[in-house]
Every structure is written in structure tokens, then in C-alpha cells.
Amino acid sequence: MTDQLKAELLELALEAALRAGELLRDGRPADLGVAATKSSAVDVVTEMDIASEKLITGLLTDRRPDDGVLGEEGASIEGTSGVQWVIDPLDGTVNYLYGLPSWAVSIAARKDGETLVGVVHAPMRGETCRAVLGGGAYVNDRPVQVRPAPAFELALVGTGFGYRAERRSRQAEVVRQLIPQVRDIRRGGSAAIDLCDVAAGRLDAYYERGLNPWDYAAGELIAREAGALTGGRPGDAPSTDLTIAAPSGLFEPLQARLDELGAWHD
């Protein structure tokens, strides 16, 4: 786990994310449609998700053939090096489908289960967020830090919703009870960008149930390197059950309140 390895992984993650972002931005067909659905009819995959993942996995396996790969659209390579790439080739697919700008390419590199590098490239924002474990967080070349924790009732909190009706209904009930207690709620449609917005001080906090590793792996490291605490239920790491990111002083009461509200289950 040397600095040289981290630097090599970061360079490759940046190259892959920038190339995929260019493909997605410049190659989006005017008649873009849904190529497939996943958990429900509104949980969609486009042909561009698939093309982006193919570009990224091809580059990674060409440069580092012994590494493992875990991708949202089906890429799965075991690898033998101990390094695993966790990629979301298009986070915010529905935004992309509708021509909204909040979408990104998310690439993380793990070594023996620990995230070493995270890159979230948001082409329509003109931003590349990145972090290396122990090296701080950056938006483009500008170092970023989370906002100081506000009082709970003054917190601007980001969240998201799943695609299955039963889960959405439960998540909406959690929001209904939480929103009178905070400044406001934001729903951007890209978990990776939301986590980076916590890192950059554009949100005070973020939480969501139902994320997969490719949704949060890169953004969670970026938020943490910017000074956020991250976790799930009390005592747990971020997971599909619940992912939370916020500065110390806000993280603790938010985590406790979300646990009381049952934000970790449907």
C-alpha cells in the first residue's frame, strides 16, 4: 500500500473517468432510449451506461490485467493482485436520460478491502472530484473541506430514493418526518455527486438507503478525506442498508435520528 501504488491507481482512475465522461457527454445520441431495466420499470440502463462501462473496464484490464473489477452494469473480474476497481460508469442515469446535468462517472480502487482512491467526474459541471487515502480531497485542483457542523435544525441534507415503490414509500415517510427538523432536503439524483457536495460544503449532510458499493465507494472516500464522518447504522460502516456522510457534530445526531426513524429498513 505504497504512495507509488496510490499515485498509479489515481492516474489510471482519472484517465478512465475523463475518457468515459467525454464519451458520455459527446456521444449521447439525440434519440437516447432505455436499453434495459433493473429493479423496476423506472430503474433504467441506457446504451451509454453499457458503452461507458465497456470503455472503463477495457482500459483498466489492459493497464492492470491482474486487478479485479466490480461494475454496476455487470462487469465482474476476480483478479489476483488484491486491487479491486469499483465503478459506476454513469451515476445518475435518469438525469442523463432526461438531459439533466447531475450525472457522473465514479471510479474507486480498493486494496484488500480498503478504498485507496476515489474519482467522481461530472462533465456537465466541469468538475473532477478526487481523493487518495490520507491525501485530502480535491475538486479539480482545489482542496476542499466540509462545512463546519451547523445546528441540526439548520442543516441542508441531501438524500435519494430507490426505484421500487415499496422502498420509495418508506423513504418518503422518513423524509416527511425529518424535513420539519432541518433547514431543508435536497434530492439531486446522483449519490456520487451528493457525497462530493458534502465534501465541497454544498450540502451539510447526505444519507440514503439502498446504495450499492459502486454508488458510494469513490464519493465516500472523497467526503471522508474532506473531513466528513461516514457510516451507516450506529457502529456500522456505510452499506446498502444505510450510508451517511456529515461533519462531526452533525453526523452523530443525524445518525441517531435516522436510526429512530428506521431509515435503514423498508
The predicted model scores a pTM of 0.96
Contacts of 146 (CB under 8 A, 6+ apart): 198, 199, 201, 223, 226, 227, 228, 246, 247
- The CATH architecture one would assign to domain 152-261 is 3-Layer(aba) Sandwich (3.40)
Q: Are 258 and 152 in contact (CB under 8 A)?
A: no
Under CATH, domain 3-144 is a member of which superfamily? Fructose-1,6-Bisphosphatase, subunit A, domain 1 (3.30.540.10)
Phi/psi-derived region of residue 141, left when phi > 0, alpha when psi is between -120 and 50, beta in every other case: alpha
Q: Is 11 annotated as a binding residue?
A: no
119's CB contacts (< 8 A; 6+ apart) are 10, 13, 14, 17, 105, 106, 107, 108, 128, 129, 130, 218
Query: What pLDDT was estimated at residue 43?
Result: 66
Q: What is residue 32's predicted lDDT score, i.e. its pLDDT?
A: 87
100 is in an annotated binding site: no
pLDDT < 50 stretches in the chain = none
Give the per-residue pLDDT at 31: 84
Q: Rounded to the nearest 10 degrees, what angle do helices 165-178 and 251-261 cross at?
A: 130
For the stretch 139-146, contacts whose Cβ atoms lie closer than 8 Å and that sit 24 or more positions apart, written own/partner, are 139/196, 139/199, 139/200, 144/199, 144/200, 144/201, 144/226, 145/199, 145/201, 145/226, 145/227, 146/198, 146/199, 146/201, 146/223, 146/226, 146/227, 146/228, 146/246, 146/247
Tell whether 112 is in a known binding site: no
pLDDT tens-digit series, residues 194-218: 999 999 999 999 999 999 999 999 9
Question: Hey, what's the cell of 203?
Answer: 450540502
CB-CB contact of 119 with 220 (8 Å): no
**66 annotated ligand-binding residue:** no
- Domain-wise residue ranges, the chain: 3-144, 152-261
Number of alpha carbons in the 13 Å side-chain half-sphere of residue 68: 14
The pLDDT, as a whole number, for residue 42 is 65
Is 90 labelled as part of a ligand binding site? yes
Look at residue 75 in the predicted model and tell me its pLDDT.
Answer: 81
Domains 3-144 and 152-261 in one fold: no
